[in-house]
Amino acid sequence: MSVYTAIKKVAKTNGKSIYRIEKDLGFSNGSISKWNNSMPGAASLQAVADYLGTTPQYLLRLAKEEN
């Protein structure tokens, strides 16, 4: 699973959409979906993790476990 897919999974359990996360955090539209093929920067990943009430480590672990 990619980091994007891990974020999408956690967001769904929190009732949030990727679009809503991007809008609320001031990210450009589609920026999180790009993480499907690349690794996000530490600050961006931290911001998303904080928004979702989790840690970057959890998101990375979830992405790794599902591979």
Quick: pLDDT tens for 39-48: 999 999 999 9
Alpha-carbon distance 13 to 67, whole Å?
20
Please, which residues have CB within 8 angstroms of residue 45's CB and are 6 or more apart in sequence? 3, 56, 59, 60
Alpha-carbon distance 38 to 65, whole Å?
17
pLDDT tens column, 13-41: 999 999 999 999 999 999 999 999 999 99
Write down all domains in the chain, each with its CATH number in brackets.
Answer: 3-65 (1.10.260.40)
DSSP 27: P
- Predicted TM-score (pTM) above 0.85: yes
